[in-house]
Structure 1
Amino acid sequence: YLRRRRWLAIQFLLAGSALGIAIALLLPSKFIAHATFYSEGKSSAPDLSALSGGMGGIGALMALAGGGGGSQTAFFVDLLKSQAFYDSLAASVIPVSPDGKRMTIKAYVIKRADNDTIRRWKARKALKKMILVETEPAGLVVLSVEAKSPIAAAAIANRAVDIIDDLNLRFRRDQAAARRKFTEAFLADVESRLSVSENQLEEFLLSNRSLMSLRTAAQNPVLQSREERLRSEVTRLRATKQQLESTIETARLTEFNDAPVVTRIDRAPPPEKRSGPPRLLIALGSVLLTATLLFWAAFLRALRRPEQ
């Protein structure tokens, strides 16, 4: 059948191949930019952790209020999946072409939308597909962005790292503010109890002044034990008060600390080579697919001919 209809088969093969090649050539080029950053996984509340060891249940509550250490790398990866991150990134203005043209990322990835809410939702979905996050054993986070423009891909990747730093800084400040407020409330309670204990000790010493000589105190273990308990309570509350005041000062420093949390290892340069699409594979695949369809069409045609 193919021999008899070879010109038709050749035309069909050429048409299918030309269609595949045209599709491969018309597909927009894709570029991938990579940015790498690192952050040390340190606990954000060392003072509260130290205090919690000597305060029992109250100390445990303070440790919970301050938050624990945990893996910073895992925190950044989760932050890169948050809606706050995608919305902040979508609203950012970046260069998208070599001539310096600038526009918001959501306008770049979503050309048309009925309103800004729909555009923001579509941009969030598009960015989730464009961004890939990988972690290295050493704690490095590699952020890859695929876009149609090498300038836009690099700009989106670098802006994403900036937003991660901003969001983490905001989180750290909010956490420090909450820790400071909690500690200030607890300090007020400690100061109140300290005042009561100091008054009790002073009243005890005044009321038993005539009996509190060294000889008398040694002969009266009840008075001596009472005085030791009162002095011990005052000493303990004074030490706790000093620790809480130190914790509050540390929390205030953290609130106003604007030092970058993220350490950039590599800024994303505009990629020099495109990452896709694989035009040669698409063209070869279209030729192979056309030939396969042509073969099966001839085979089915040959099966029907004896019946006719």
Structure 2
Amino acid sequence: MNTSTEYQGDAPGSANAATGVAPNRTLLSVLEALRLIGRGKKIVFRTTALFTAVALAVALIKPSTYTASTLILPPQQSIGGAGGSLAGLGALASFAGPGLGVKNSDEMYASLLVSESVLDGLINHFDLKTRYRADTMQDARTQLMKRLMVVADKKSGLLTLKIEDRDPVFAADMANEVVPEFRRLLDRVAVTEAQQRRRFLEERVAGTRAQIADAEMHLRSAQATSGLLSIDAQTQAAIRQAAELRAEIVAVQVRMESMSAFATSENPVMQRSAAELAGLRQKLSELESGTDSSAPVAASDAKGLDNVRAYRDLRYQEAMLDTLTKQVELARIDEAKEGPLVQTIDSARPPEKKSGPKRLLIVLGGLLAGFFVGALAALLSQGDLVGPYTESLGRVREAWSLSRKRSQ
């Protein structure tokens, strides 16, 4: 009787009869998976081809997009004569968070370029609600933000604005229109800041004039009481100089108060102003101590001293009025001027090459996704793999079924 036996291979994990060495279980599992996938290679090929065809169709259907860019030089930091308003940037810089020196000016301008004021101006100018088929302004802003990007170069301080659109000419027009919208925003905020500063100074001028009237009445009363109608020229010169120093101190304080809206104590201009203020106070202290020691009026003559003090207060208020009046005029000039200067280094031109979509990446992604899905489908289609787990899979299906019945 002729008998034959068919070699089935070593059981997974068993020792090889010839070598006595147990094979690697992980390697066997990988090889077994590859064998099962090979048995279902038709499923893999069909699934991969289907996914690749769909990805190719999507890549071909998606319209080409173009990105236009413009290079912008934001306003430079320069201290103006009207109390250091930084060319009207005090109110703008308050939008940024705390930091060192001027508070994140690059990030501040980048944020202002994509502010609602600028976006709304673009939407209205180009009728983007219709172009993007948006029902509301918020939807149009969302669609526009997906196509707009601002990149700040911290080394050069330049801003690069990029806008994407299907039409290269339209993309370039939009990128170039951002700068005028940005300028209008800066003009509006700068005028508002100058108006606030002018009103503040005008209030100080009105208060100083009232104090001058009180000082004049006090001086007349002191002259009538003491009988001294005049003060010697040396004392008058010292008092006038002290009054001018006090007025300069107040001017520096007003300037530092205006700068505090956009600069911290680490800002070089703030540090110079602080040093200037300390020097003026030191000079005033020395001058007043020298005046008191060399005053021709006897210390015991209280009426004479009251006359000198009244004259000193009057001269101080007059110097203050002169200084504040000049600052009011400078604030009015700033109010009439345009906002901070925004310069366009490179205007946007219609791009010649498309920026998207990345069709090759879309096709490769579809191919890889199809292969993995096909391989998984090939594995699950094998009965010898799924069979041992049929009962477990049934329990899982029953557990997740919405109409399942609990087994008693």
Give the TM-score range, shorter chain: 0.7 to 0.9
Matches within 5 A, 1:141-180: 141-180=159-198
Counterparts of 1:16 and 1:181, CA distance in 2: 69
Counterparts of 2:67 and 2:316, CA distance in 1: 60
Question: Cα offset for 1:190?
Answer: 0.6
Counterparts of 1:192 and 1:6, CA distance in 2: 98
Which residue matches 2:364? 284
Counterparts of 1:182 and 1:306, CA distance in 2: 83
Q: 1:160 to 1:43 in 2, by over 3 A?
A: same
- Quick check: 2:219–2:311 contact (8 Å CA) kept in 1? yes
Unmatched segments (≥5 aa) in structure 2: 1-35, 95-101, 233-295, 389-408
Aligned: 1:75 with 2:108: yes
Counterparts of 2:364 and 2:91, CA distance in 1: 62
Aligned: 1:228 with 2:308: yes
- Quick check: 1:35–1:144 contact (8 Å CA) kept in 2? yes
Counterparts of 1:65 and 1:243, CA distance in 2: 24
In structure 2, what residue type is equivalent to 1:294?
Answer: G
Counterparts of 1:65 and 1:260, CA distance in 2: 12
Question: Cα offset for 1:193?
Answer: 0.6
Which residue matches 2:153? 136
Unmatched segments (≥5 aa) in structure 1: 51-63, 94-103
- Quick check: 2:40–2:378 contact (8 Å CA) kept in 1? no
Q: 1:67 to 1:252 in 2, by over 3 A?
A: farther
Which residue matches 1:84? 117
Q: 1:165 to 1:72 in 2, by over 3 A?
A: farther
Q: 1:81 to 1:271 in 2, by over 3 A?
A: same
Counterparts of 2:151 and 2:92, CA distance in 1: 29
In structure 2, what residue type is equivalent to 1:186?
Answer: R
Matches within 5 A, 1:199-210: 199-209=217-227
In structure 2, what residue type is equivalent to 1:157?
Answer: A
- Quick check: 1:41–1:70 contact (8 Å CA) kept in 2? no
- Quick check: 1:31–1:153 contact (8 Å CA) kept in 2? yes
- Quick check: 1:37–1:142 contact (8 Å CA) kept in 2? yes
- 1:252 paired residue among 307, 315, 332: 332
Which residue matches 2:242? none
Which residue matches 1:295? 375
- Quick check: 1:86–1:124 contact (8 Å CA) kept in 2? yes
In structure 2, what residue type is equivalent to 1:130?
Answer: R
Name the stretch that deviates more: 141-150 or 7-16: 7-16
- 1:111 paired residue among 133, 142, 156: 133
Question: Cα offset for 1:233?
Answer: 0.9
Which residue matches 2:320? 240
Name the stretch that deviates more: 74-83 or 232-241: 74-83
CA RMSD between the two structures: 3.2
Question: Cα offset for 1:225?
Answer: 1.5
Q: 1:247 to 1:121 in 2, by over 3 A?
A: same
- Quick check: 1:183–1:247 contact (8 Å CA) kept in 2? yes
Which residue matches 1:15? 50
Aligned: 1:127 with 2:160: no
Q: Secondary structure at the match of 2:162?
A: strand
- Quick check: 2:226–2:304 contact (8 Å CA) kept in 1? no
- Quick check: 1:41–1:72 contact (8 Å CA) kept in 2? no
Counterparts of 1:112 and 1:71, CA distance in 2: 34
Matches within 5 A, 1:263-282: 263-282=343-362
Question: Cα offset for 1:9?
Answer: 5.8
Question: Cα offset for 1:294?
Answer: 2.1
* Cα offsets for 1:17-39 (capped at 9, x unmatched): 22211100111222222222123
Q: Secondary structure at the match of 1:91?
A: helix
Question: Cα offset for 1:48?
Answer: 3.5
- Quick check: 1:36–1:264 contact (8 Å CA) kept in 2? yes
Q: Secondary structure at the match of 1:48?
A: coil
Question: Cα offset for 1:67?
Answer: 8.5
- 1:38 paired residue among 70, 73, 77: 73
Percent pairwise identity:
26
Counterparts of 2:123 and 2:42, CA distance in 1: 54
In structure 2, what residue type is equivalent to 1:89?
Answer: L
TM-score in terms of structure 2 length: 0.60
Q: Secondary structure at the match of 1:139?
A: coil
Q: 1:198 to 1:33 in 2, by over 3 A?
A: same
Aligned: 1:183 with 2:216: no
- Quick check: 1:24–1:279 contact (8 Å CA) kept in 2? yes
Q: What is the number of equivalent residue pairs in this alignment?
A: 277
Question: Cα offset for 1:212?
Answer: 6.2
- Quick check: 2:91–2:189 contact (8 Å CA) kept in 1? no
